[in-house]
Structure formats: C-alpha cells, structure tokens
Structure 1
C-alpha cells in the first residue's frame, strides 16, 4: 500500500499496534540497530527522496548540537530502514508518515527552512497525532539505543542479571524539606 492510498481503519490500527508492540517489547532494539542495511537504492525499502524527507524530519526532532549528533548522524534513517526491512508490515505506516510530510511541504521538505519544517511537524502532530507518534517514537528509539549516544550521555550497558552500575550513596538530607511539610492529604 502506498502513502497516497487510503487505509482502512483495520489496516491502520494493525500497523499502529504492530509499531507500538515493537517499541514496547524492545526485542528488536539492539539486534536491528546493529544490523547492516542493503547498499543500493533498488534494494532499499524507501527510495532516496523518502529517506531524505525522513532524515530531515528526524533531525528536526533531535537536532545536532556542539556535543551531540543529530538523529540521522546517529544512524536513525538506517535504523528505520532495517526495522522496515525486517518487519515489512510497518512499511505502509512509514510511507504514510513521509507522504503526509511531503504533501504538507509540497515535496520539498529538505529544501525549506528549519522553521517551516518545524511548523509542518507541529501541524502533523496536531492533525495526525498517531502518525507523528510513530515518527517521534522511532526517532527516539533509534537515537537512544545507539552505542555512540550511550557513550556521549554516559550510559553504561549492563545486561540483565548483572549488578549494574555502581550508584552514588543517597544523601537523605535532600528529603528534609519534604519530610517537614505538613500532610497534603485528609486524615480519615
């Protein structure tokens, strides 16, 4: 199904639920993030134009700064291409997101100013929150499961069943003010 075709309520619900289950399970997070994608455009699930729109949309959600890379610099587009290649039922959902963005920007999303791109994404969020949520959630997932970002934010990966990071001792004096407040509930 292409982005400009109409979806049945059932098709859309199935795609959204599949995406939410994928995000909630975390089962594909690291294996898919580390997988290699195909090299040529003909092998890719999204064409160059769609990938360009996706790149600029992701970079407006997580832009680069002097310390951190943007979402696309951290491999966000590649991450989504791998997920869509592994779970082709999600392709129509991403085509719909990209199609909406392209329609709202007259097919020149990558060539317009950042301010207009942000306005378009805010409009998408307000008018089609379910589509924007897919873009936002996958952008965050691709970014915060990237090992480069782990290092930049100081996150240490500890497998389940291990002790995990050593925590600093908690300073109980931080709670003194709250402990001295009067009750904010009705005693029965």
Structure 2
C-alpha cells in the first residue's frame, strides 16, 4: 500500500505562491493555461470523474447568470489542468479537494457530488469550507483566478487588460469643477 504524501503548511503555501507568482509575472498566462491539446487531455492528471466533480464545484462557486457564463464555460477546467501541468506539486491538493467533496456528498446523500441537486452541492461546499478551509480556499481562489483572467469575462465586464510596462488605459482629463464645493467647505479637522 502506498502512503500518501502529507503536505506541511509551508509546502502548501509555497505551491500556491509559486502559481500566483507565475501568473503575476506573465510566465503563465491565461491563454497558455487554457490551451489544452488532445495529447494533454488524454494524459490528464485528473480522472474524468474528478474533472466532473471539479466542474460542478467551480460552477457552484461562480454559477451561470443571465449575463455571465459559469466558471467552466470560460475554460476553468482547462485552466486548472494547465496549472497542474506546470505545477504538479498542486495535484495532491486538487485530488484531496475532489475526494473530500465526494466523501461529504456520499455521506450526506449517498450520491456522487455531480448527481446531487444544486442546493445540496452548495451545502457540501459550505461543509468543506468549514471542515477544510485550506482546501476550499485553493478551489475558490483558482476558480476566481480562472474566471477573472478569462478574455471572455474581460469582454463581458468591460475590462481592458494592460500588462505591466505599458501606458495603460487613456484617462479622461480631470474636471477641476468637481472640487469647487469641497474648496468652499470649512475645515473638518482641528489645526494644532
């Protein structure tokens, strides 16, 4: 019987920080993270059933609304698969998260996480958040990261990305008249 590797808090933090540094530095960008080819998909790090559980969990964290797509609809799963390909040390964290979601779901309803109703999935996620906040935090953070770095979401929320070192968005000239009322007010502090 193989023994599972137990991560220390330091190892766990190092893996998360590494992923965030790669993304912040631009070494790992969303288009790279979401580019999955057939070969990578066939050699996926997570089983098909684990990917399905992950998809449902991500879609409960960021569900589809009238105007916005869900986390999986903008490539959340592909994003995580590519993160795992770049940072394989994170694989046990995601496997443990998925395993915990399945175990909680089976204990509460005798069904797989993907087979239970939406309200029950939310209840399972809340239980995971309370029982294993570190695992839930990784799932939540990577779900947000995959979503809010998606060009599809940028377009829908009207965000224009401007990488470091560029001029950034053109700003409207400042209207000095906006300060007229404030300039006429008496001071709201005591002079010492």
| 1:140 aligned partner | 144
Q: Distance in 1 between matches of 2:143 and 2:78?
A: 11
Between Structure 1 and Structure 2, how many residues are aligned? 181
Moved more, 94-103 or 81-90: 81-90
| 1:87 aligned partner | 87
CA contact 2:34–2:82 (8 Å) conserved in 1: no
Report deviation, 1:38. Answer: 3.7
TM-score (norm 1): 0.82
Q: Distance in 2 between matches of 1:28 and 1:175?
A: 48
1:14 equivalent to 2:18? Answer no
| 1:130 aligned partner | 134
Please list every run of 5 or more consecutive structure 2 residues that lacks an aligned counterpart in the other structure.
none
Please list every run of 5 or more consecutive structure 1 residues that lacks an aligned counterpart in the other structure.
none
Q: Distance in 1 between matches of 2:112 and 2:49?
A: 9
CA contact 1:41–1:47 (8 Å) conserved in 2: no
| 2:50 aligned partner | 50
The higher relative CO (CA closer than 8 Å, separation ≥ 6) is in: 1
Task: From the CA coordinates, give the structure whose radius of gyration is larger.
Answer: 2
After superposition, the CA RMSD in angstroms is 2.8
